[in-house]
Amino acid sequence: MIKLQDIRDTARDMLAKGEARAVIGYRRGSRGMLAEPAFLTRPEEADELVWDPTCFHNLSLYLVHDRKHLAHARKTAGAPVAVIAKGCDARSIVVLLQEHYFQREDVYIIGVSCEGTGVVDERKLAGHLNGAQAISAAFDGDDFVFTTAEGEKRLPAREVMADRCLECCSPFPKEHNLAFGEDKTGRQLEAPFAALDRFEAQGAGERWDNWARHFDRCIRCFACRSVCPMCYCDECVVDSITFPVTTATTAEEKASRIRWIERSAARSENITYLMTRAMHLAGRCTDCGECDRACPVNVPIRLLNNKMEKEAREQFGFEPGASIGGPSLVASFLDNDPGNFIR
């Protein structure tokens, strides 16, 4: 079991010694029991840190933000930023390192193993609490224990855990500078891609009806894109409005703004956006599930990305974020790549 005090001590120590510019972790949020991202720069702030099953955010996103801030301010990095990373988050960092978004020495990974638990799915929990507000969440080794105004409520992990945690095979952050918790691999409660398999078990017509309903609901708020550490492009391919005009931008480039999709949230445009995003995440998505969680209208975005990852695993044995030196999915070509999809 992870002792919260150890994490706090590490953060305090690193900030006091100047070994990190900042520590990115979790603290108690203002909204009920849920944790929120915390950005610590002073040692005395270390006691704000928390670690519980509501720490679902993928904090590697803020490493991307940090890079962008530095680039805009034309500053160089100096000391690294320390970040608390779960298994999936650490894999995201590995993908970012593979893509040279920053250097390994720019980040200090404080790995935290999810051990026997994962994170809570808010929507699943709400279904069990019947409107009650949970104040805190804990995991006692078997069950989640939620404290509400009416008292404690015990719920089996299987019933309130996020789908991705139920299916997770590698809850331990392999890439780390320092890691807390046990390396409990292969402890998934459900088979990988179980939720996707359930969805795919439907007939084609049914699947399409489902997706049509979801695509119609999308309001194109781009929360999924904003929350995704892999969506770090300055200009999103679907969104010519944010075309970055820098001193290096030529007239020819300005003239070649392409609007691949319309801005209106029509079904056809929403499909193009979400499909394009899924394609661009192929081989890069580490299944942190943040897009799914952030969606205000509950579009199961994770299934789209999962489909790509499932294909990648079945066809090429590919797992995103497995190692920094490893090949990328779409750019690498190996002799033993199967060609059975070419007909």
Q: Taking CB under 8 A as the rule, does residue 233 contact another protein?
A: yes
**Which residue number, 235 or 314, has a Cβ lying nearer to another protein?**
235
Binding pattern for the stretch 260-299 against another protein, x by CB under 8 A and - elsewhere: x-------------------x-------------------
Residue 337 within binding range of another protein, rule CB under 8 A = no
For another protein, the binding residue among 201, 204, 248, 342 (CB under 8 A) is 248
Q: Please give the Cα distance from 202 to 208 (Å, whole number).
A: 10
**Are the C-beta atoms of 269 and 262 separated by less than 8 Å?**
yes
Q: From the centroid of its chain, how far is CA 296?
A: 16
Q: How far is the CB of 293 from another protein (least distance, A)?
A: 23
Minimum CB distance to another protein, residue 221 (Å): 22
In the complex with another protein, the residue whose CB is nearer, 152 or 234, is 234
Nearest Cα to 261, choosing from 304, 299, 225, 220? Answer: 220
Q: Does 133 bind another protein (CB under 8 A)?
A: no
Pick from 223, 237, 271, 294: which binds another protein (CB under 8 A)?
A: 237
Least gap, CB of 151 to another protein (angstroms): 50
Cα–Cα distance measured from residue 306 to residue 283, given in angstroms and rounded to the nearest whole number: 10
Stretch that binds another protein, among 82-90, 95-103, 116-124, 305-313 (CB under 8 A): 95-103
Interaction of residue 335 with another protein, rule CB under 8 A: yes
| 249 binding another protein? (CB under 8 A) | yes
Among 149, 201, 331, 342, binds another protein (CB under 8 A): 331
Tell me if 166 sits within 8 A of 188, measured CB to CB.
yes
Q: Which of residues 158-217 bind another protein (CB under 8 A)?
A: none
State yes or no: residue 258 binds another protein (CB under 8 A): yes
CA 241 to chain centre: 25
Interface segment toward another protein; rule CB under 8 A; list 12-20, 126-134, 203-211, 252-260 = 252-260
316 forms part of the interface with another protein (CB under 8 A):
no
What residues make contact with another protein under the rule CB under 8 A?
98-101, 232-235, 237, 244, 246, 248-249, 253, 255-256, 258, 260, 280, 327-328, 330-333, 335
